[in-house]
Chain A
């Protein structure tokens, strides 16, 4: 085992590696662009004007800071840890995705790009990107697997209303990974004018670090809010993980606080033991896809296998490389919750707290329902409620055998 680093927050190295993971595994055509992007991002990061503009938008347009809400009935029901929900589902567009998108689209403007493309699974990142592009008057094309177009129809309609072109992707398995392949193919062909707005902490360097930085607003707010409310840091953090951006946003500011236990919850689908799941860290192994080395669902030879989850947003066979590194470092515990567990948790939150969660954070909540009862009453647990469930009502109704 490698010895524990002095800080878990200093990565990646100058080549974009988090230990074994990350990197820049892309076609040569894209390589100069990725280097340009890295340079432009580093400049923007250090520019107070850029940060000021972003902070203004986060506050006045997206509605940040999102509340940190003490879920009293849920806490009593579970009878253990004191549960706080970070209400990122209250952001404009209904999820944490807007945090990252505002940053990237501002950067696209700054770089003089005249077209933005994005991939989307559940449609939350697509909607957020379409929103920011409407705001900044930039043409936007969103690639979405044709399977997801079917199961996330309300979000497809929203993107169209916002002026984006939604391109259904029918190659491969017609889900999120194929949407990402198609976005990269488009990018290679149009790279002089196009900015690729990646929705999660994955892809070639600098995306994993850049998206993380934009999402860290979640964890930074939690630090301030919990200090105000409880006068101390939380004991436990829980978030769901597909690519891992909402989780990284919550976790990263706490990685060096040794007393904070951190748990990431992957989508267990029908159960990790069935092979039909999206739990890359629990059921996969390191490989190279979409520009980075990370844990992947794949067969013996390295062919990528299809992920399975009730939640289109978690239905991805990979995960951000920094999560892979943190797993190997042993800093974060990675567990999984099944489709059925998430469905149960989804209904529980509706009834107890009057909040309809997205299916993605319902996975985090499913784990909270198992974990919280084992913890003492003074254990402060913060769960990231990263999206709201309006988009999922049709899918959930169908699973529950109800007609809308």
Chain B
């Protein structure tokens, strides 16, 4: 059983939803980014999405675009991202918190899909969320991911109707990611009613847990999502908090990591305020 599945089973046993936190690997630099990563589980993140910085993040809003640029400028690479995960598993001894790599397919494709899966699994990665790999193209990745015990989390959107859902679910493992608004990351927020409706709809098609992301910024919004979904995903708000901790020259200020983790703790409080049946 994968770390992702185990984690969702545990959340279910604890009668609560999970908090998924996204950070861009290497933002604002490798050291600070690792400090944040290391502190996430203690602050209350149940799963972690580690963004692989890419020059052309087509599905991301300005915050995550610029975060990726900061990381690339500071020298982050795919190997560097693997190193962060490897170090996290070794130094924290945390063998339970799932880490998913999130990003764009070209970085996987250039390394060779099989080699990428092998190296990611060896580093302690648990799965992928590749924004530009819809089910129509996912057969390139799925067999190699499975062979190395990695879950492929595909996105569903409000435009993914009932007719199309089974195709998406066929390639999904670990959980289903519902991108709750039409648009790029960090811009709009869905209403609680819309989240409830779509999560219920997805759950009619699958037993996989459903995580909801896009536009969740506050503990209250996270709690609202937690009432309906199995996890709330927060990315842009965290990335914005990293940026707020940079000085005028883009250098991290001393309180940056603590500030980010305090926000994570508050979000976790929101998610944990909801008890599930």
Chain A residues packing against B (C-beta within 8 Å) = 15, 23-33, 171-172, 177-178, 181, 184-185, 188-192, 287-291, 293, 296, 298, 300-304
B interface residues, tally (CB under 8 Å) = 43
Query: Are A188 and B77 in contact (CB-based, < 8 A)?
Result: no
Q: Tell me if B's interface is mostly helix, strand, loop or mixed.
A: loop
Q: How far is the CB of B3 from chain A (nearest CB, A)?
A: 24
Contact across chains for A28 and B156 when beta carbons are under 8 A apart: yes
Closest chain A residue to B157, Cβ basis: A29
A184 near B109: Cβ-Cβ < 8 Å = no
- Known contacts A191-B159, A289-B106, A298-B110: A32-B59 contact under CB 8 Å: no
Contact between B105 and A181 (Cβ–Cβ < 8 Å)? no
A171 and B161 alpha carbons, distance in the complex (Å): 32
B72 within 8 A of A: yes
> Which 10 A-B pairs have CB atoms at the shortest separation, nearest pair first?
A302-B110, A189-B183, A29-B157, A28-B155, A302-B106, A27-B59, A288-B106, A304-B55, A25-B132, A32-B159
B62 lies within 8 A of chain A by Cβ: yes
Contact A172 B179 (CB under 8 A): no
A-contacting 9-mer, from B84-92, B133-141, B198-206, B262-270: B133-141
List B contacts of A190 (CB < 8 A): 182
B106 touches A28 (CB 8 A): no
Report B76 CB to chain A, min CB distance, Å: 10
Closest chain B residue to A184, Cβ basis: B58
Of A26, A303, A304, the most chain B CB neighbours within 10 A belong to A303
Residues of B contacting A26 in the complex (Cβ-Cβ under 8 angstroms): 58, 132, 134
**Residue B179 contacts which of A24, A28, A33, A303 (CB distance < 8 angstroms)?**
A28
Give B97-124 interface residues, CB cut-off 8 Å to A: 104-107, 109-111
* Residues A185 and B136 in contact, CB atoms below 8 Å apart: no
Please name the residue on chain A nearest to B109 by beta carbon.
Answer: A288
- Asked whether A28 lies within 8 Å of B111 as measured between CB atoms, the reply is no
Q: Is B168 an interface residue (CB 8 A)?
A: yes
Contact between chains at A31 and B134 (CB < 8 Å): yes
CB of B101 to closest CB in A, whole Å = 14
Known: A28-B154, A301-B77. A188 touches B136 (CB 8 A): no
Interface members, chain B 143-194 (any A CB < 8 Å): 154-161, 164, 168, 179, 182-184, 187-188
Closest chain A residue, CB of each to CB of B164: A32
- Given A28, A185, A296, A301, which contacts B168 in the complex, CB threshold below 8 Å? A28
Residues of chain B within 8 A of A177, CB atoms compared? 56
The answer to whether B58 touches A298, judged by C-beta atoms less than 8 angstroms apart, is: no
Return chain A residues, CB-CB under 8 Å to B179: 27-29
Apart from A32-B160, A185-B58, A185-B59, list 15 A-B contacts with CB within 8 A: A24-B134, A24-B136, A27-B131, A27-B155, A27-B179, A28-B155, A31-B136, A181-B58, A185-B183, A185-B184, A287-B106, A288-B106, A302-B107, A302-B111, A304-B56
Measured between C-beta atoms, what is the minimum distance from B11 to chain A in Å? 24
Residues of chain A within 8 A (CB-CB) of B157 are: 27-29
Q: Which A residues lie within 8 Å of B54 (CB)?
A: 302-303
Say yes or no: B136 contacts A189, CB within 8 Å.
no
The smallest C-beta distance from A199 to any residue of chain B, in angstroms, reads 17
Q: How far apart are the CA atoms of A87 and B56 in the complex, in Å?
A: 36
Return chain B residues, CB-CB under 8 Å to A25.
Answer: 105, 132-134, 137
**Can you list 10 pairs linking A and B with CB atoms under 8 Å apart?**
A27-B132, A29-B155, A29-B157, A31-B134, A177-B56, A184-B59, A287-B110, A300-B110, A302-B109, A304-B56
Complex Cα distance A177/B155, Å?
24
User: Nearest Cβ distance between residue B188 and chain A, in whole angstroms?
Assistant: 8
Q: Is the beta-carbon distance between A303 and B72 smaller than 8 angstroms?
A: yes
Structural contact, A172 and B55, CB atoms closer than 8 A: yes
